[in-house]
Structure 1
Amino acid sequence: MENGRMSDRIRSPSSPPSGSETAAERLTDDLLVEILSRVPARSLCRFKCVSKHWLGLINDRTYRRKLPQILAGFYDGGQLVDSGVPFTNISGSRHLTYPAFLPSRRKVMVVDCCNGLLLFSSYAGGDHGDELYVVCNPATEEWAELPHPGHSGDVSSINLCFDPAVSPHFHVFLLPAVEVEDQHGYCLTGVHVYSSETGSWVHKEKRWSGNIDVGYDPSFIYLNGYLHFCAIVDDSARQLAAVDKEGGARTDFRVPDDLNVCFIQQSQGCLHYAGFDRGDNDDDVDRLLVYVLKDYDSKEWILKHSVETSHVFGGLHAVSLYENFDWIAIHPECNLIFFTLAWEDITFMCYDMDRGQVKVICNLEESEPPYFPYVPLYEELQSLHK
């Protein structure tokens, strides 16, 4: 072995300790990662300063999925603000936060959030000024302003896609649409994709078979290199659609039938699909069902959880429930479902699938969906700049 290299490595526990070697240095990489996976994310960030080896280990994409992904709270989206973006802590406390590190104060709206990065729609000149898109990392105060996508028509959605375990680069997907008069709806015409690696947008023409648009329950999940979303195909059938950064499209995911108010999420590395089942007739008991796609290639949904809605939501009638209920998220690492019920106030709640318990987190007053789960990312990215 070359001179001086032993100090940069962690020896096997079976190696005889030297006089200057610490207990931590005698741990194997796998054991050290197991220990680091149990510490808070902020502490993990500080531990990067322990040594070059720890820094390399924590940044190693082989181990990243084992290290903590701590859900800090939820950003409120869909509101154009200039005084602060509402943020709800996981404990229920609320405050306003504004990306003050941006070059100038603008009216902004949170459009999407993915693995620690936020996508803002930013207006430089009031409500109707020039619209810009900005991607930022609140934890490191880094940001990047995107060039104009070159599209001025209707847009069904714009979404941020980023997986730090795979690449330090992010992508932004814009799904343009045109109105289809005979179907009283819209049809996606393709996809615009921005890559932080190239710093430019590319446009891909429509690749779906039939007319397809974003569904009535717009939730978007980035997993396995695809942006997934609930879609309406030919104005009737509900399917799970997906598109990748090259514009490749998929509509070959079947979804569980006859569920109302459906919702997709990513939790514990797998796609989850949730909704309400009213049964075969009006007298049947409503149930909340949660399915998981454990084998992505097989496309087989497995029932993960089933519970009577009366246990979660009390005696709400189905119509009242559907009208006053909104999904928020499924916890990225736990079997917790976050949702709101709207009466005089909007009540932020969660349901623990393992314990069968419901908890009220806080009241949101006049806040409205969407809400974006936020997991801080304490890593500097070359794809962002200050």
Structure 2
Amino acid sequence: MLEGDLEPWQEMATMVLPDDLVVEILSRLPLKSFCRFKCVCKSWLSFSSDLHYRQKLPRNPIGLLYQKREHGTSIHLAGLPSGDRDIDTTLSFVPCHKFPLELKDCSNGLILCYHGGIMYSEGISDPIVCNPATQEWMEIPYAEPGTALNEINLKLCFDPLWSQHFYVFKFESSPSPDPDHGTSTEVKVFFSEDSTWSTCLWETDDAFWGDSLFVNGVLYVGHLWGHCLLALEAPGTRTQLLNDRTIQLPGIPYATDQKFYCYDGCLCQSSGVLCYAQQELDGCMLRIWSLEGADRWVVKHRLSVNDVFGRDMLLRTNSRGLWYFDYEILDFDLERELVILVDLTTDKVLSVSISTGEGSEILKVPGFFELYRSLLYVPYYCKQLPASVPQGAQD
């Protein structure tokens, strides 16, 4: 048959699309669909390991992980519209111990939890990193739980676009021997590459124990009351010290005056770029910035939220007469153009479209202030944890 004799649909079937266009099409698929399709096409599979393309491929959140501050409460997932409901976020595949699992951290599909912790006097025991999408888990060796006076904060760091290995940063704070400083904090790192802990790699007298995010090999940790971030580069197994720098946050500083009580906003990433969201002073608008370069913040979005909550006044006063916002920013995702907010007056968790400003309820939790932790969950459908990591037993 000559080329001119082909039917139109046959001519289209013989066309070869350029890689850039194929990746653009694949980037619009749900993550689970992409993972299925790449199993039947070698060229599509190769995009996953291509540094130029893999940042564009889909990794969409499917819901909000949360856990209430009550004895024996399971971890739950409040699904977003079109989310995957088949994932066991209760972690029933992890063996039971004396205490139920407590959600500690989540990083690109891997979850850090432990038996015991903030609700129990025994402290942290048996830290576990697991993948709910593949139902695999591993225990983290934890031979140095510290003393009863020490405060321990674990930060999980995993980004499959940067490395197939993960890290756990341990911030251990103890009373400082210097009377002019309240605490002294040491930082150690667990390497999944060889399942070992480092010695102390970094020390500080500052209270960098706040919310954190791991982006492109850098762990960003918020200060408890200073309006800034600590940036720590993920080390190699032979590293003796951590490279660090401090970044000032944009927006409203913590507790701008004696009459206004303001928490820092929320960290997120978009295509490998650190982003930050916070309310404006009256609470009626919120801004989203991206970090351009080392320390320059650029406004990407400005969103009105009055219609979302159906009221004009979004400030309240507490028992001490201090003004505060009556809603919080739980998380946001610029790829899906949504922001997750919680209305503290109704205990409703809302998904708000950045492009349209419309909101929809995804969860109602009576007594939201009693939530222990809430984290946006992005599944990781790799069939196994990083190859060098011992896997948990599969039933």
Smaller-chain TM-score bracket: 0.7 to 0.9
Matches of residues 193-212 of structure 1 in structure 2 within 5 Å?
193-208=189-204, 211-212=205-206
Q: Aligned with 2:46: secondary structure? A: helix
Matches of residues 75-154 of structure 1 in structure 2 within 5 Å?
75-77=65-67, 79=69, 82=72, 84-91=74-81, 97-104=89-96, 107-123=100-116, 128=122, 131-148=125-142, 150-153=144-147, 154=150
TM-score by structure 2 length? 0.76
1:198 Cα shift? Answer: 1.6
Q: Aligned with 1:315: secondary structure? A: coil
Distance 1:274 1:226 in 2: 19
In structure 1, the partner of 2:61 is 71
In structure 1, the partner of 2:292 is 295
Q: Aligned with 2:200: secondary structure? A: strand
- Offset from partner CA, 1:287-319 (integer Å, 9 cap, x none): 53424234232x111233345664554233523
- Offset from partner CA, 1:50-83 (integer Å, 9 cap, x none): 1444433334454321111121001114647656
Task: Check the 8 A contact 2:124/2:145 in 1, yes or no.
Answer: no
Task: Check the 8 A contact 1:149/1:192 in 2, yes or no.
Answer: no
1:355 Cα shift? Answer: 2.1
In structure 2, the partner of 1:347 is 348
Distance 2:152 2:180 in 1: 15
TM-score by structure 1 length? 0.78
Gap change, CA 1:38 and 1:303, over 3 Å in 2: closer
Q: Which amino acid aligns with 1:275?
A: Q
Sequence identity percentage: 27
Q: CA RMSD in A?
A: 3.5
- For the pair 1:273 / 2:295, whether they are aligned, the reply is no
Gaps of 5+ in 1: 1-20, 279-284
- For the pair 1:256 / 2:250, whether they are aligned, the reply is yes
Q: How many residues align?
A: 351
1:168 Cα shift? Answer: 0.8
In structure 2, the partner of 1:3 is none
Of 219, 223, 245, the residue aligned with 1:227 is: 219
Gaps of 5+ in 2: 1-10, 236-240, 254-261, 318-322
Q: Aligned with 1:189: secondary structure? A: strand
Distance 1:289 1:364 in 2: 23
| Comparing 152-161 and 188-197, the one that deviates more | 152-161
- Offset from partner CA, 1:187-245 (integer Å, 9 cap, x none): 3522111111021111325444xx31136xx321111322112215xxx7432112223
Gap change, CA 1:237 and 1:365, over 3 Å in 2: closer
Distance 1:257 1:53 in 2: 44
Q: Aligned with 1:212: secondary structure? A: coil
Task: Check the 8 A contact 1:176/1:191 in 2, yes or no.
Answer: yes
Distance 1:366 1:97 in 2: 22
Task: Check the 8 A contact 2:266/2:276 in 1, yes or no.
Answer: yes
1:129 Cα shift? Answer: 8.4
